Amino acid sequence: MTADRPFFITTPIYYVNDLPHLGHAYTTVACDVLARFMRLDGRRVRFLTGTDEHGQKVEQSARAAGISPQELTDRNSAGFREMTRLLDISNDDFIRTTEPRHARAVQAIWQELERRGEIYLGPFAGWYSVRDEAFYDESELVEGKAPTGAEVEWLEEENYFFRLSAWQDRLLAYYDANPDAIAPRSRRNEVISFVRSGLRDLSISRTSFSWGIPVPGNPRHVIYVWLDALTNYITAVGYPDIQNNDFSSLWPTVLHVVGKDILRFHTVYWPAFLMAAGLEPPRRVFAHGWWTVEGQKMSKSLGNFIPPKQLVDTYGLDPVRYFLLRELPFGSDGDFSHRAVVSRLNGDLANDFGNLAQRVLVMINRNCEACVPEPGALGAVDTALLDAARRLLDAVRAHVSEQGFHLALEAIWRVVGEANRYVDEQAPWALSRTDPARMRTVLYTLAETIRLLALLVQPFVPGAAGKLLDQLAVPEATRRFEALAGVPLVPGTRLPKPEGVFPRFVEEPAG
Ligand code: MSP
């Protein structure tokens, strides 16, 4: 029913002056879950990620490393591409802002803004933070630094300006007409009050360094890195060729997932640039929270970050993906601690879901000649469990479409809990002697429940879910969500030997 509504999802493009870490992994995994969910739900999906490669910060880092900016970007962009493989990310495209398709799009949007009278040349004097690649007002500085704690420098240059101040009312009208365009709600309120307080024109070119896309007609200037970076989202759907099928079907049906630190760029500058260029602003921007690590602020400059590879090597990929999306409400800040990961891993995954599946599959293997058992007539308790699992899709879809990942997982795990209670109450191991026919009905009900649960957890834990579906001999072709209401497990189907999919995490003995 939703197949005709395409879904375009983007991560921020990551700065290449640093290596991938937990924060990047978080945004990327969240987007991957959305992309996989929508594909399984029958929608046409475009999932974009990539790297942000221009700007003064990159130029400085390259100089410090004694290499050219191009060498630095090639090397570090490859690290982010590697992260997508490591985390089993299903992106359809990986954009680099140093690609020719992107320079073309950025210069085109510049020319369009210029043609429409949205750009003028003037003197700039003000504070700039290279770390944030952002301009700050005197009034925003805290003890001589940016509100983010970054160093600022005084800048006096002739710059091109974008007439942002003229867009205040139209931005407010856009927020007003699109209540879901900024989420969560508290963030939306923040943005609205920022815009209400008044907007100044924005400097959108720089002359003091050269690692960037030249301003058309005045190559002494390079285009401000945020105008360059934000444009990646439309480069990827073919801008400036807006008649093409990608652009016309995918823009503006986009969901930009970003961290809270870059909300203003995505919800003030970006819609203003787009509207000023005669394009539609994005459908929705969701700002997620920040992780601390064992109670400490994680920052690139402090260097206490966790590389994604360390996460996967320590805990395994599915547990990491599950933890990141289950532990925090998406939008809130939280702490990443070893204890918290192990508790989720051993509790929710190994004990609750893993044991359920393992117990049932082993019993089937031993007592039903390793075939899906033939059920008798289902009783009320059996249908109650199956109905609970079948009803999940609607609830999970509603949560996921609002990026409420933890609520979706909570709902799924409530049924895991019900299934575990059902096993305990029905005690199929005892039935094997007293009432084998009833045992087969109970085991069938459980196996079918596990099939439904495994289908639903695919976007979150694709590896484990795939193995569970293999163990239930569910063909690849019937793993989309439409199969939840489709043909149930077929009695007599031969099943492979069961294997655990969520192993317990065992601490290494100290020393
Ligand atoms: N290049 C810009 C984005 C341009 S998008 C047009 C940028 N890059 S970044 O590499 O610094 O950050 C990318 C994302 O990582 C941001 O969404 C940021 O919020 C996220 N995170 C960085 N550290 C984080 C945590 N400690 N926790 C959660 N996410 C964090 O900004």
Per-residue pLDDT tens over the stretch 222-281: 999 999 999 999 999 999 999 998 999 999 999 999 999 999 999 999 999 999 999 999
How far apart CA 124 and CA 110 sit, in angstroms, is 19
Closest C-alpha residue for ligand 1 atom 24? 23
Distance CA 330, CA 30 (A): 9
Closest of 450, 407, 408, 446 to residue 425, by C-alpha:
446
State the total domains in the chain.
Answer: 1
- The reported pLDDT for the residue numbered 301 is 66
DSSP H or E run through 154: strand 153-162
Asked if the structure places residue 226 within a domain, the reply is no
What was the pLDDT predicted at 303? 67
Structure tokens at 130: 């290279």
Residue 401, Cβ density class (10 Å: 0-12 exposed, 13-18 middle, ≥19 buried):
middle
* Domain annotation covers residue 399: yes
Q: Would you place residue 5 in the very low, low, confident or very high pLDDT band (cuts 50, 70, 90)?
A: confident
Ligand 1 midpoint to CA 166 (Å):
29
Q: Please state whether the peptide bond connecting residue 308 to the residue before it is cis, i.e. omega within 30 degrees of 0.
A: no
Residues 434, 367: Cα–Cα separation, whole Å? 13
Residue-level pLDDT at 46: 98
Confidence (pLDDT) at 2: 46
> Does 13 sit in the ligand 1 pocket, CB within 6 Å?
yes
- Tell me the pLDDT tens digit for each residue of 132-190: 889 898 889 999 999 989 999 999 989 999 999 999 999 999 999 999 999 999 999 99
Residue 361 belongs to domain spanning = 342-485
- Residue 374, in any domain of the structure: yes
Q: How far apart are CA 361 and CA 346, in angstroms?
A: 19
Is the pLDDT at 443 greater than 90, yes or no?
A: yes
Report the C-alpha gap between 304 and 80 in whole angstroms: 18
Q: Whose CA is nearest to atom 23 of ligand 1?
A: 23
Confidence grade of residue 507 (pLDDT, cut at 50, 70, 90): confident
Query: What distance in angstroms lies between residue 353's CA and the mean position of ligand 1's atoms?
Result: 32
Q: What is the CATH number of the domain that holds 354?
A: 1.10.730.10
Give domain status of residue 354, yes or no.
yes
Confidence grade of residue 508 (pLDDT, cut at 50, 70, 90):
confident
Nearest protein Cα to ligand 1, atom 15: 24
Kind plus residue range of the DSSP H or E element containing 296: strand 296-297
pLDDT higher than 60, residue 458: yes
pLDDT tens-digit readout, 113-136: 999 999 999 998 899 999 888 989
**Ligand 1 contact, 16 CB (< 6 A):** no
The residue whose CB lies within 8 Å of the most ligand 1 atoms, and thus the one to mutate among 9, 11, 15, is: 15
Reported as a single tens digit per residue, the pLDDT across 25-62 is 999 999 999 999 999 999 999 999 999 999 999 999 99
- According to the model, what pLDDT value does residue 182 have? 98
Identify the pLDDT of residue 1: 43
Residue 126 domain-assigned? no
Contact (CB, 8 A) for 222 and 160: no
Phi/psi at 348 (5° precision)? -60, -45
Torsion, Cα 38 40 44 48, to 10 degrees, reads: 60
Residues 311-339: tens digit of each pLDDT: 999 999 999 999 999 999 999 999 999 99
Integer CA distances (angstroms), 335 to 12, 114, 247, 303, in order: 22, 45, 39, 17
Ligand 1 midpoint to CA 242 (Å): 29
In a domain, 376, yes or no: yes
Residue 381 in any domain: the answer is yes
Answer with the residue of higher pLDDT: 53 or 299. 53
Would the CB of 27 count as within 6 Å of ligand 1? Answer: yes
397 lies in some domain: yes
Residue 509: predicted pLDDT: 72
Q: What is the mean pLDDT of residues 277-303?
A: 90
Binned at pLDDT 50, 70 and 90, residue 459 comes out as very high
Mean pLDDT value across residues 478-492 = 97
Structure tokens at 59: 């130029």
Single pTM value for the model:
0.96
